[in-house]
Amino acid sequence: MAGALASTSRQFGAAVGVDVTGSIITAGSGAGFVTAAHSAWVVIASCGALVVLAGLASTSRWAVQSAQLNGDRLTGPVPQQAELADV
């Protein structure tokens, strides 16, 4: 299930990326394709910069500590059936 979700998300992202880039080039097509494509490259470079920032944030000390705490919580002792019935 997770693989299908990841694959679908990747395909959707690619389709939206092509659509947005094509729209930017088409909007500036009066100036010629090469000149209009410069705007698309700016958008693509900006998206790349955002990915780099997200990568840095997800590997920061805070993110690593948060992942460790959640991992410890998930691998901790499993509640007994009697404890679950009391809830």
- Mean pLDDT over the full length of the chain: 81
In this structure, the number of other CB atoms found within 10 A of the CB of residue 36 comes to 16
Under the banding of pLDDT at 50, 70 and 90, the label for residue 28 is: low
Q: Say if residues 45 and 21 touch (Cβ distance below 8 Å).
A: no
pLDDT digits (tens, 9 = 90+) for 61-86: 888 888 888 888 888 776 666 555 55
Q: What is the mean pLDDT of residues 44-48?
A: 89
pLDDT value for 20: 84
Q: At what angle do helices 33-58 and 2-27 cross, to 10 degrees?
A: 140
